Amino acid sequence: MKEEKCIVLDFLPNGYPDRRHPEPIAQAIGRNFTLLELAPKEEINLKPEEEVYVGEGTRDKIRTVKGVLDPGKLTNYSRNLLREIVERIVKEDEQKFVYFFNSAGTITPRMHKLELLPGIGKKHVQDILAERKKKPFENFGDIDKRVKLYPGALTAVVKRILEELHGSEKYQIFVPMKGRRTRERRY
């Protein structure tokens, strides 16, 4: 899934210090949670938290998308800002993640997709399924009010996305799988 817009995590106007031929570089995360390395156009200075267009056609600030960024290569500043930006993206697209709670099914006969979220076990899954059968969830507040989750629906989703970004999870539910092209979300 190609990214259209990214949010800058860090901008290095002189590039990486260990590179022989430094060029300005931005580390960014797309709205579909792909970590990217961007090269800005000449004379463009980017700011952390700034949204930039990286899709097809004319780009106003980005010369090229250099590629997918390995999470281990994030600068300290990017790493510290990542959680805040992921949470912001999730809040701005809340309905997509609430849809996950309303529609997620099983992965295997013994495991439900909801169990992949931190803090959600089999008992919580049963509670969520019972509540969504009565009436679909409307937002994160509705989920938290009707099902007692710790640490809460929003926090569970954000934690899961961060775990997937760092590549420590067998199943990817929110972040595109590395090395495979995905046409659509699997939930």
Q: Per-residue pLDDT tens for 4-58?
A: 999 999 999 998 887 777 899 999 999 999 999 999 999 999 999 999 999 998 9
pTM of the model: 0.88
Half-sphere exposure at residue 166, Cβ-oriented, CA atoms within 13 angstroms: 10
What is the homologous superfamily of the domain 93-165 according to CATH? Answer: AF1531-like domain (1.10.150.280)
Rounded CA separation 10/77 (Å)? 6
- The CATH number of 5-73, from 2.40.50.140, 3.90.1150.10, 3.40.50.2300, 3.40.50.11890, is 2.40.50.140
Over residues 150-176, the pLDDT tens digits come to 789 999 999 999 999 988 778 888 998
